[in-house]
Structure 1
Amino acid sequence: MAATAATRQPQKDLPLEESRAYLKNHFKDHSGAKYKDGWDKLWQAGDFLPWDRMVPSPALADTLNNHSHVVGSAKLVLPDGTTRRKQALVPGCGRGVDVMLLQSYGYDVVGLEISAKAVEACETYARETENEELYGCKDEKLGKGSRKFVVGDFYADEWLDKVGVKDGVFELIYDYTVSLFSELSFNGLLILLQFFCAMNPSMRPAWANRMSTLLAPNPQANLICLEFPTNKPPNAGGPPYSSPPKAYMEHLSHPGEDVPYTAEGEVKVNPLADSGPGALERVGHWHPTDTHAIGKDTEGKVNDYVSVWRHR
């Protein structure tokens, strides 16, 4: 899909270390409460957005296309036999590409971002691309869903009031932190990234607890995680921190609880431990047929996993 001039300006294509240095220098003037201004200025300038891929996650598309027997469709069947669209959430949605993809499959989708300028970029991109084939209706009987982009903090509740989601819960949540920004750590930026691989393991209990809270207690509701990086040595530090499948398993089985790690960064697994309150159960786990290049090895083999979770 080609980007229009209004959607994306020429980028500063810098090597990884130079990009990290550029961002660290940028956020020196936007620390603490000013961090939102820092994000806004990057989106306003539009020439240095190295996390912005301009296309939806191939792994999410693969999940929706080839694993519907696990995740179901965008139609929610209610106890009385009536139906409605499932409500979906993409936290940290960037330019909203995955929001647009889910909408094309019939979901009513909320894209959450910390930056007001990012939300403006989402709205512009959506207007310019909504009629492109990539985001065309995937099921004529179901039709396309709705989309809504909102500014807010994933861990706070204020944004829920803005989107009017029923009971404050979602039937689908897509979690993925990718690209250069997941490899940065300065001025508290990790707290803003909010998602699994970007967080120091000490922050993961809060992530798991929030996911458990926001996911509807319904067997038709799914949390979809794109697990990355799965093969990074645990003692290599981060971000991105080593995020093997067993780390997701331990945290989502014990939302809000401290999960022990070794001094080398390896998660400790206790197979005899009971699941915690609000625990999620893994109901699907596979390598997607495709993913972004950062999730592949030098020979093009996919290292990422997709995992799907529901309330027990």
Structure 2
Amino acid sequence: MNVPRNLDPKDIQVHLANFKAEKYIDGWAALWDKGDSLPWDRGFPNPALEDALVQRAGTIGGPLTQDAQGQSYRRKALVPGCGRGVDVLLLASFGYDAYGLEYSATAVEVCKKEEAENHSWYRVRDQSVGRGKVTFVQGDFFDDAWLQNIGVPRNGFDIVYDYTFFCALRPELRPKWALRHTELLAPSPAGNLICLEFPRHKDPLAAGPPYPSPSEAYMEHLSHPGEEIAYNDKGLIKPDPLREPSTAGLERVAHWQPERTHEVGQGENGVIYDRVSIWRRRN
């Protein structure tokens, strides 16, 4: 599969510095309009997601389920900031009705092209289950308009997959990011947020994106959605042992080192720094 020319991370950082506050997402859209690719885009799904869908199916749940009347239906999966849409197509190949969200109209067209040109690459994993529906939609993750466009209510997604979305956001947006997940996930235990934590090994004071994203950052923000989380002068979370998790937050139900991941999540000699975590609503 062909991968577009990767931009240098420093060029991305310089570019995004020109887009302040709420204009930040417009900076990402402008990058897409240039036709280049992000430096962590490999052009195919991260194998850690594929392995999770196979090996952790008992936790995540399969693509088919039944409603209260006993009618079978496909569970819905969302990939916010889906990039070229490769993870969306992978989820659909497992049988989920998969939705890819991008703020950029150009990115949505790239996703549709990826589906048209490489559909056969995403083979159906189980013929008895079949392929799920693929929907790419343009919209702002933090706004409800795109939900209305696709006819999905709040708390309507059984799976949300976050790989290079959390690390792409400026840290001041992380409380809002965590709160939004509580609004999108279906009630527990049906709703599962799958985070592929990256980059965990980056210097906490290094510039982003991708912003350093240690496991502790996911834990604190998702346990206290919408709340400001303190970071110290070394760029690390300031732990508060007396602080209780929010009853409106998410709880981590699984956390592991994947056997496979993209090279950008590895160190020397193939040491894997990435981690996978699964989260559910507490209430």
TM-score by length of 1: 0.81
Bigger shift: residues 265-274 or 93-102: 265-274
Which of these residues, 119, 124, 131, is aligned with residue 130 of structure 1?
119
Which of these residues, 199, 212, 217, is aligned with residue 229 of structure 1?
199
Partner of 1:41: 33
Counterparts in 2 of 1:65 and 1:268: CA distance versus 1, 3 Å: same
After superposition, where does 1:18-57 map in structure 2 within 5 Å?
20-21=10-11, 24=14, 32=23, 35=27, 38-43=30-35, 50-57=39-46
Partner of 1:170: 157
CA distance, structure 1, for counterparts of residue 13 and residue 30 of structure 2: 10
CA distance, structure 1, for counterparts of residue 12 and residue 142 of structure 2: 28
Give, as a single letter, the amino acid of the residue that structure 2 aligns with 1:20.
Answer: K
CA distance, structure 2, for counterparts of residue 73 and residue 235 of structure 1: 40
CA distance, structure 1, for counterparts of residue 141 and residue 26 of structure 2: 17
Which of these residues, 124, 148, 157, is aligned with residue 144 of structure 2?
157
Counterparts in 2 of 1:21 and 1:130: CA distance versus 1, 3 Å: closer
User: What is the CA-CA distance between 1:233 and the residue it aligns to?
Assistant: 3.6
Counterparts in 2 of 1:157 and 1:228: CA distance versus 1, 3 Å: same
CA distance, structure 2, for counterparts of residue 21 and residue 98 of structure 1: 25
Which of these residues, 51, 75, 82, is aligned with residue 64 of structure 2?
75
Which of these residues, 172, 180, 183, is aligned with residue 202 of structure 1?
172
After superposition, where does 1:1-312 map in structure 2 within 5 Å?
2-3=1-2, 11=5, 16=8, 20-21=10-11, 24=14, 32=23, 35=27, 38-43=30-35, 50-132=39-121, 135-167=122-154, 169-177=156-164, 195-312=165-282
CA distance, structure 2, for counterparts of residue 213 and residue 83 of structure 1: 25
CA distance, structure 1, for counterparts of residue 79 and residue 73 of structure 2: 19
Give, as a single letter, the amino acid of the residue that structure 1 aligns with 2:234.
Answer: E
Q: Equivalent residue of 1:230, what SS?
A: coil
Q: Equivalent residue of 1:38, what SS?
A: helix
Give, as a single letter, the amino acid of the residue that structure 1 aligns with 2:100.
Answer: G
CA distance, structure 2, for counterparts of residue 243 and residue 28 of structure 1: 23
Aligned length: 280
Counterparts in 2 of 1:105 and 1:259: CA distance versus 1, 3 Å: same
Counterparts in 2 of 1:159 and 1:306: CA distance versus 1, 3 Å: same
CA distance, structure 1, for counterparts of residue 114 and residue 131 of structure 2: 17
User: What is the CA-CA distance between 1:272 and the residue it aligns to?
Assistant: 3.6
**Which consecutive unaligned segments of at least 5 residues does structure 1 have?**
178-194
CA distance, structure 1, for counterparts of residue 109 and residue 209 of structure 2: 28
Bigger shift: residues 221-230 or 64-73: 64-73
Seq. identity, %:
46
User: What is the CA-CA distance between 1:37 and the residue it aligns to?
Assistant: 6.0
CA distance, structure 2, for counterparts of residue 110 and residue 203 of structure 1: 22
CA contact (8 A) 2:193 2:280 kept: yes
User: What is the CA-CA distance between 1:167 and the residue it aligns to?
Assistant: 4.5
